[in-house]
């Protein structure tokens, strides 16, 4: 099923402009995000071809089937609750049966974890991006050899330096495990064609050193330690960093670099938006989609605040949300049975029209 199918068959019962334009936080560069709700034809509900969601390739336009929509409302999903409270001027299509639904039916103390928890993930994203911007990784992937050290005097010498000092090639070396010494190996060397070792590291992406068979009479020339845990972590960080580089939004990244504060200012803006909304819901039982503190939030997006100050403010705000939850008059969870009956009634009305 496609978006065209939904429109051709008049299955869309709610369609709204969402995201930054609904929050009143859009800029001239902001995309137009569309979110909505549709009802499957009755035979698709009874059969095996249930469709939960229909959207475009970029997820700029997404519609949720009514049953899935109500499931997410019961879970207090922030994006779904916001859709139900969209400002009137951002609603493009609204079927009368949508009036059976209102945020008040679904709001509960779960919003502390959904809105507040999602905000916390934005903080973690901001921290992660801060780390990537401040600590960029070179294009050349380091080798295992750069995480190996040879015992030297009362200390250790980097393996690459040690090999250079002895005019050895790593391909002419062989390693043997030393029992009871984790990641520590006896290192052998030979240029004799009759004694061929396998080297220390392969040229592929392996995170393991290579072990060799060594003649019984051979004597090790050194003891080598491989920081395997450090290398595995480095490889993961390297992979994550260059995956981020490949997929990042360059316009957004340029903005983050230009403001010079080394954090994703859009993520940080939405962190405070979500925390504010969580406190409002828990205190007043209301979802305010269009943000009244637009200027403050946009100043965060422009990078006008220091990273450490924002993190401290966000963590303090999280404590306020915790307190609001403890004192909230909202139920612990939405009434699932009531939600189920509303869904049944909405389907009955729609299919009997």
Give the pLDDT of the chain (353 residues) as one tens digit per residue. 999 999 999 999 999 999 999 999 998 888 899 999 999 999 888 888 899 999 998 889 999 999 999 999 999 999 999 999 999 999 999 999 999 999 999 999 999 999 988 777 767 666 655 555 556 778 889 999 999 999 999 999 999 999 999 999 999 999 999 999 999 999 999 999 999 999 999 877 789 999 999 999 999 999 999 999 999 999 998 988 888 777 665 544 444 445 555 567 888 899 999 999 999 999 999 999 999 999 999 999 888 888 889 889 988 999 999 999 999 999 999 999 999 999 999 999 999 97
218 and 274 share one domain: no
1 and 103 share one domain: yes
Any idea what DSSP says for residue 37? Answer: E
Q: Report strand pairing: 12-18 vs 91-94.
A: antiparallel
Element (H, E) at 220: none
Could you tell me if residue 36 is inside a domain? yes
Domain count, the chain: 3
- Domain's final residue, options 164, 199, 232: 232
Check if the beta carbon of residue 90 is closer than 8 Å to that of residue 83.
no
83 and 216 share one domain: no
d(CA 263, CA 294) in angstroms, rounded, equals 20
Tokens 């404590």 sit on residue: 319
125 and 259 share one domain: yes
Could you tell me if residue 86 is inside a domain? yes
Question: Which residues form the domain of 279?
Answer: 108-136+255-331
Could you tell me if residue 237 is inside a domain? no
Half-sphere exposure of residue 345, counting CA atoms within 13 Å on the CB side?
12
166 and 122 share one domain: no
Cα–chain center distance at 241: 13
Nearest to residue 240, comparing CAs of 121, 135, 106, 119? 135
Could you tell me if residue 239 is inside a domain? no
Could you tell me if residue 318 is inside a domain? yes
pTM, two decimal places: 0.66
d(CA 127, CA 135) in angstroms, rounded, equals 12
């Amino acid at each position: 099923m496609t978006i065209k199918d939904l429109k051709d068959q008049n299955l869309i019962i709610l369609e709204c402009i969402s995201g930054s334009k609904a929050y009143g936080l859009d800029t001239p560069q902001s995309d137009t995000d569309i979110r909505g709700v549709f009802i499957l034809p009755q035979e698709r509900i009874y059969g095996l071809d249930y469709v939960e969601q229909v959207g475009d390739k970029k997820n700029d336009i997404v519609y949720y089937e009514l049953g899935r929509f109500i499931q997410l409302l019961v879970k207090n999903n922030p994006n779904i609750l916001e859709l139900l409270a969209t400002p009137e001027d951002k609603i493009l299509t609204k079927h009368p049966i949508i009036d059976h639904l209102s945020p008040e039916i679904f709001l509960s103390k779960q919003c502390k974890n959904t809105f507040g928890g999602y905000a916390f993930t934005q903080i973690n994203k901001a921290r992660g991006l801060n780390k990537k911007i401040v600590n960029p990784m070179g294009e050349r992937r380091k080798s295992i050899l750069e995480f190996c050290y040879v015992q030297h005097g009362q200390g250790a010498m980097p393996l690459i330096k040690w090999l250079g000092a002895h005019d050895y090639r790593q391909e002419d070396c062989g390693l043997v495990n030393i029992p009871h010494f984790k990641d520590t190996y006896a290192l052998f060397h030979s240029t004799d064609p009759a004694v061929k070792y396998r080297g220390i590291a392969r040229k592929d992406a392996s995170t393991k050193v290579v072990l060799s068979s060594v003649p019984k009479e051979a004597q090790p020339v050194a003891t080598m330690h491989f920081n395997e845990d450090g290398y595995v972590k480095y490889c993961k960080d390297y992979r994550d960093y260059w995956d981020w580089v490949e997929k990042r939004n360059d316009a957004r990244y340029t903005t983050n670099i230009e403001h010079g504060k080394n954090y994703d200012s859009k993520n940080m803006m939405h962190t405070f938006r979500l925390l504010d909304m969580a406190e409002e819901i828990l205190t007043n039982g209301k979802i305010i989609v269009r943000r009244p503190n637009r200027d403050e939030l946009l100043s965060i997006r422009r990078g006008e605040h220091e990273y450490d100050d924002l993190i401290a403010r966000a963590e303090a705000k999280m404590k306020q949300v915790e307190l609001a939850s403890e004192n909230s008059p909202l139920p612990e969870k939405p009434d699932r049975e009531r939600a189920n009956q509303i869904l049944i009634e909405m389907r009955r009305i729609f299919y009997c029209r």
